[in-house]
Structure 1
Amino acid sequence: MGDDIRSGEAAATRLVRGTPLTEALDITDPGAWTALDAGVRAIARYRSSLLPGGYGAGTPGDGTAGGAPQSAAAPGRPTAGLGRLRLGLRPPARPRSADRGAGSRRRAGAPGAPAPEPVAGAGRPGPPDESAGLPVRSRLALALCHPDGRVREAALDGVAEHPVLLPLLVVRAGDWAAPVRERARRLLGGMLDVETAVALAPLILRVGRRERGAFGVELLDGVLRRAPRERLLPLHTHTDRAVRRFAFRSAVEEGLLSPGELARRASWDDDPVIQTLCADAAVAAVTDEGGDSGWDDVLEPLLGARSPRARSAGVTALRRAGRPGRAVEFLADRAAVVRACARYVVRRHGTDPLPWYRERCADPADPAVPPGAVIGLAECGERADAELLWPLLAHPAPTVRARAVAGLRALDVTDVARLLPLLEDPAPGVVREASTALLPSAGTLPDDWLTGFLTADRPRHARVAAFRLLDARGGLVGLRAAVALLDDRDERLRAWAGQSVQRWRPGADTPRGEAEVGELLDRARHLFSDYVLRRRKWEAGLRG
């Protein structure tokens, strides 16, 4: 949020310096418009004369910045009229009751001549308007973001002559000031056609997340539902994820896409929400009258999708399609959710998947052992099945070894002596799984042997695994390991070690007054203030 305001302030500053609107900000970026809206109000706090109308940020409770004006055309406030005069815009229609009230007050002055109404601050010149001479678009954009609601309202009608400012009309349709909001909504409803709605969809959905932004989303939905199907296709491949989600939800509700099209969308879109939405809709849309061809159009894209969400939907649909036998080939899928769905379908067909898993893992010398079958055995097996997993720790395939370690951990079977040598495995995945399995036993591991993995000649994954275990042990051993990595060549590992030193506290196994603790803390003194360093030493029984 802070970055948005800062970028908005920079864009507003460029506008008041005379930079054309299209050069001052990226008009195709919805975030640039919302940032400009916040940035104009930010600069008004310290340079009010930069804005059209000469109106500052005001004070709380006076109907200016930060609060909704009581009336966007309230009489007796010189700023509103000044802002409209300098903008050259038609003021909003004033209710007749307000005109009569203002007239009666004028007649209360000297007989026969209208007298000006006394106002606070009358007679004192306001700040000079430094925005005079700016391009009309720039002045209008600044006015549409002005802290004073009356200036914002006065600027709304100018959008019709400058459609490039339509994004700010969208922002104002969610304005906190009711007169501005209602007028902006009337104008937006008359100007939003299909082409404009497609272009403004990212901004409308962005503003729609605000407290008063629902109107724009409802208006967008109504316009797009009346549009021809071909006009909406660009939204299905839009780079903005929120736009794609909105477009697909609308397409599913309206039935604009066939089951096969939905399945294909689910198979290649990278958004998990869209994958689930389209996959579920595709399966639900297949009717029994469609026959095998209808299922083929849906199942083939889903079962071949890269996304586990899409594949799992396809595997689950095999039962309804009457093809449960095909689920067997997904019992060893690389994704856990797909394996679980495959086991569900197979079991509902009356087959126990456990013997299938045991058969696939029975020969540790078989180079074709599926890694998914190894972890699948642990997911549905018993602790006795660990005897099939231990030999797989020596399998030539790194993925099989890693899944075997993960499977043993899932079965809650841990043998430190057999797992410890895996920390020297050349495969990072195996070392990572081994360190995770050994973590509960970190206090019993040989610290001198693990410390040897922290040297610069060891690969990164070995240093990370060793430090993970030593850091979990804590005490003097953990501090020694962390300080040893403060000069590591890997930036992330150095940062992790520094954080470990900063949160270190002497444990029950740390000898009081241990001189090595003081030496290690002195080596890391750049991580502490003088006070905190003395405090740490005092906690360890050392004199600062």
Structure 2
Amino acid sequence: MSRAAGGRGDDLAHLVEVLAAVDATGAPESARAALALLARAPRTVARLDEHVREDRWSAPRRTPGPAHLAARLDRPAPGAVAVALAGAHPDGRIRERAVRAMLAAPAPELAPFLVLRTGDWVEQVRTPARAALVTLLADDPAGYLPATLPTALLVGARSRGGFAVTQVTAALLTAPPPVRRALGRSGPAGQRRFVLTIGLAHGWLDRDDLVEAAESDPDPLVRVRAAETACRDAVWTGRIPTLRRLAGSRRPAVRATALTGLLRLGHLAEVSARLDDPADLVRAIAREAARRDGTDARAHYRRVVTGDAPTPGAIAGLTETAPSTDAALLHPLLAHPAAPVRAAAVRGLRLLDAVGLPLVTPLLRDPAPAVVREAATALRPLAGALPPALPWDLLADPRAELRRAGYRLLGTGDVRARLRAGLLLAVDPDPGLARRGRADVVRLARDAVRPTGRHPTPPALAVTAAERDDLRRLARDAAPVLGDECVDLLTGWLRS
């Protein structure tokens, strides 16, 4: 179903076949369970509706599944799947019959498909669908609001989609508090944002609801907005425990919002104690508190970095406040036993523009992938000063992170080096690296053979005969994964 949400016709056709097979079993429970699962993904519902609505009943693209399901409307009790997909039929008369079947045997699983028909371009379909939506939301908001709200918000921007949004908003305004609370804690992110916006406008949400959303909601926009509202109320009312609780959140944006509230209330020492926080925004707020409190943040960072327990946050803070002459303080940390400290030290040297090849180059083979990544990032601008064989050795290493580092370093070389590295990576056993290699090879080949406005001059490929033969061999090895078009482009490029 997640693949069908992308809109590929083959995936959608397969989904229709699966739904038709479920309907063929004649088990109402199975059909409704399949539609309930589908209703959790409103984008998939919309794409499925568009797919079925296309004229796929004309030869030679005849798809028997939807046509067969639409014919089941003639039965006294058509299945839920047949009713749902018949609602997307190109024939408006069949869509109208499907809508009336949805109202005759209402079910929350059919509600998303009913919402789509409230914006139908045929009035005879649109009018009964709208009447059905109003009736169902009024009679059972607890059952139909969760089923209709995500799809209504999805189609709200369409030319006739405003009706559904208006109806679900009206139902939400009159729904019992437990229903509103459940909608704000579950469902897609768009639904939770909508419920939060309405709740804040109408004062539904109390302090506990806001704190819970700020701490636990998976959507960053919901978390930040809930945290801002809760912290603003806490500042106005002087509720320090609320600010302290949110200041301990694992979410940096929530911590920053709560610490800003504590800073406004004058709790300078409490805020400046976060100078070593992993988040840059939190460190900046803590440094402002330290400045007001008369604490030397730079001296603090130097003391922690050179002490027995350096932290990545302290290293980042030193990088943000100290001059480049303090880079020497980070040199001993390149051999620290903790990988996060080593990675932070390499990052600090890069930001201070004090990367030393003898110090950082050995970290390209560090046991920790994060350290290897930081080392490759730091050394990339200096790749020309590295031993020429080093990136190629890394590209042939059994460890995926080392191959990635070698490829990044080779990305600064000439066209031949980039093409050769891309061909090697295109057949890499790591799927992510292989995709990257294939994409780069295709881009290079297209730029060479088909100049564009962005790349009007083809990249120059200066190679010897031996190097050309080597590239041809690598191209043949990678041909099964590159595709015929790319292989043809490469062949012509190397021949010319």
Settle same-fold status: TM greater than 0.5: yes
Q: Which residue of the other structure, out of 111, 126, 144, is the alignment partner of 2:87?
A: 144
Q: Which residue of the other structure, out of 128, 134, 137, is the alignment partner of 1:189?
A: 134
The aligned residue for residue 308 of structure 2 is 367
The aligned residue for residue 385 of structure 2 is 444
For the structure 1 residues 192 and 318, does the alpha-carbon distance in structure 2 shift closer, same or farther, using more than 3 Å as the test? same
- One-letter amino acid of the structure 2 residue matched with residue 180 of structure 1: V
Cα displacement string for residues 78-104 of structure 1 (whole angstroms, at most 9, x for unaligned residues):
xxxxxxxxxxxxxxxxxxxxxxxxxxx
Q: 1:174 is paired with a residue of what secondary structure?
A: coil
Alpha-carbon distance in structure 2 between the residues aligned to 1:168 and 1:454: 52
The aligned residue for residue 344 of structure 2 is 403
The aligned residue for residue 112 of structure 2 is 167
The aligned residue for residue 67 of structure 1 is none
Q: 1:472 is paired with a residue of what secondary structure?
A: coil
Alpha-carbon distance in structure 1 between the residues aligned to 2:68 and 2:403: 63
- One-letter amino acid of the structure 2 residue matched with residue 265 of structure 1: A
Q: Which residue of the other structure, out of 389, 392, 408, is the alignment partner of 2:330?
A: 389
User: Is 1:462 matched with 2:427?
Assistant: no
Q: 2:412 is paired with a residue of what secondary structure?
A: helix
For the structure 1 residues 413 and 246, does the alpha-carbon distance in structure 2 shift closer, same or farther, using more than 3 Å as the test? same
The aligned residue for residue 491 of structure 1 is 431
Q: 2:35 is paired with a residue of what secondary structure?
A: coil
Q: Which residue of the other structure, out of 460, 470, 474, is the alignment partner of 1:519?
A: 470
Answer yes or no: is the 8 Å Cα contact 2:31–2:79 preserved in 1. no
User: Is 1:10 matched with 2:17?
Assistant: yes
TM-score by length of structure 1 reads 0.74
More moved, 13-22 vs 268-277: 13-22
Moved beyond 6 Å, runs of 4+: 48-55, 505-510
For the structure 1 residues 283 and 171, does the alpha-carbon distance in structure 2 shift closer, same or farther, using more than 3 Å as the test? same
More moved, 138-147 vs 222-231: 138-147
Q: More helix by proportion, 1 or 2?
A: 2
Alpha-carbon distance in structure 2 between the residues aligned to 1:137 and 1:152: 15
Q: 2:260 is paired with a residue of what secondary structure?
A: helix
- One-letter amino acid of the structure 1 residue matched with residue 308 of structure 2: P
More moved, 366-375 vs 390-399: 390-399
- One-letter amino acid of the structure 2 residue matched with residue 41 of structure 1: R
Alpha-carbon distance in structure 2 between the residues aligned to 1:6 and 1:152: 19
Alpha-carbon distance in structure 1 between the residues aligned to 2:85 and 2:429: 50
Residue 459 of structure 1, CA deviation:
2.7
The aligned residue for residue 312 of structure 1 is 256
The aligned residue for residue 118 of structure 1 is none
User: Is 1:37 matched with 2:35?
Assistant: no
- One-letter amino acid of the structure 2 residue matched with residue 538 of structure 1: R
Alpha-carbon distance in structure 2 between the residues aligned to 1:277 and 1:504: 44
Answer yes or no: is the 8 Å Cα contact 1:16–1:134 preserved in 2. no
The aligned residue for residue 223 of structure 2 is 275
Equivalent runs, 1:66-77 vs 2, <5 Å: none
The aligned residue for residue 414 of structure 1 is 355
More moved, 268-277 vs 422-431: 422-431
Q: 2:273 is paired with a residue of what secondary structure?
A: helix
Alpha-carbon distance in structure 2 between the residues aligned to 1:390 and 1:207: 57
Alpha-carbon distance in structure 1 between the residues aligned to 2:182 and 2:231: 24
Answer yes or no: is the 8 Å Cα contact 1:262–1:282 preserved in 2. yes
- One-letter amino acid of the structure 1 residue matched with residue 406 of structure 2: A
Q: 1:524 is paired with a residue of what secondary structure?
A: helix
Q: For this pair of structures, how many residues does the alignment match?
A: 458
Residue 52 of structure 1, CA deviation:
8.4
Equivalent runs, 1:96-115 vs 2, <5 Å: none
Answer yes or no: is the 8 Å Cα contact 2:336–2:342 preserved in 1. yes
Residue 269 of structure 1, CA deviation:
1.8
- One-letter amino acid of the structure 2 residue matched with residue 400 of structure 1: V
- One-letter amino acid of the structure 1 residue matched with residue 471 of structure 2: L
Alpha-carbon distance in structure 2 between the residues aligned to 1:130 and 1:261: 47
For the structure 1 residues 239 and 154, does the alpha-carbon distance in structure 2 shift closer, same or farther, using more than 3 Å as the test? closer
Residue 372 of structure 1, CA deviation:
0.4
Cα displacement string for residues 144-196 of structure 1 (whole angstroms, at most 9, x for unaligned residues):
33323344345544433211244332221122334533442233223313212
User: Is 1:243 matched with 2:251?
Assistant: no
Q: 2:54 is paired with a residue of what secondary structure?
A: helix
Answer yes or no: is the 8 Å Cα contact 1:11–1:39 preserved in 2. no
TM-score by length of structure 2 reads 0.80
Q: Which residue of the other structure, out of 359, 364, 367, is the alignment partner of 1:423?
A: 364
Residue 314 of structure 1, CA deviation:
1.2
Cα displacement string for residues 178-236 of structure 1 (whole angstroms, at most 9, x for unaligned residues):
45334422332233132122343233333335342222222212212222222322223
Structure 2 gaps of 5+ residues are: 1-6, 449-457
Alpha-carbon distance in structure 1 between the residues aligned to 2:381 and 2:391: 15
For the structure 1 residues 317 and 178, does the alpha-carbon distance in structure 2 shift closer, same or farther, using more than 3 Å as the test? farther
Cα displacement string for residues 274-329 of structure 1 (whole angstroms, at most 9, x for unaligned residues):
111110110122254x44xx221x22331121111211111211112321221122
User: Is 1:204 matched with 2:212?
Assistant: no
Residue 407 of structure 1, CA deviation:
1.3
For the structure 1 residues 501 and 379, does the alpha-carbon distance in structure 2 shift closer, same or farther, using more than 3 Å as the test? same
User: Is 1:538 matched with 2:495?
Assistant: yes
Answer yes or no: is the 8 Å Cα contact 2:54–2:90 preserved in 1. no
CA RMSD of aligned residues (A): 3.4
For the structure 1 residues 212 and 332, does the alpha-carbon distance in structure 2 shift closer, same or farther, using more than 3 Å as the test? farther
Q: Which residue of the other structure, out of 259, 262, 267, is the alignment partner of 2:210?
A: 262
The aligned residue for residue 80 of structure 1 is none
The aligned residue for residue 231 of structure 1 is 179
Structure 1 gaps of 5+ residues are: 56-128, 540-544
- One-letter amino acid of the structure 2 residue matched with residue 40 of structure 1: V
The aligned residue for residue 35 of structure 2 is 27
Alpha-carbon distance in structure 2 between the residues aligned to 1:16 and 1:257: 42
- One-letter amino acid of the structure 1 residue matched with residue 369 of structure 2: P
Q: Which residue of the other structure, out of 385, 408, 411, is the alignment partner of 1:471?
A: 411
The alignment-based identity, stated in percent, is 34
Cα displacement string for residues 480-520 of structure 1 (whole angstroms, at most 9, x for unaligned residues):
44455555443333343444444457999965433122223
The aligned residue for residue 321 of structure 2 is 380
Alpha-carbon distance in structure 1 between the residues aligned to 2:147 and 2:72: 34
More moved, 464-473 vs 140-149: 140-149
Q: 1:203 is paired with a residue of what secondary structure?
A: helix
Residue 438 of structure 1, CA deviation:
1.0
- One-letter amino acid of the structure 1 residue matched with residue 247 of structure 2: L
The aligned residue for residue 111 of structure 1 is none
Q: 1:212 is paired with a residue of what secondary structure?
A: coil
Residue 437 of structure 1, CA deviation:
0.9
- One-letter amino acid of the structure 2 residue matched with residue 330 of structure 1: R
Query: Whose RCO is larger (CA < 8 A, sep 6+)?
Result: 1
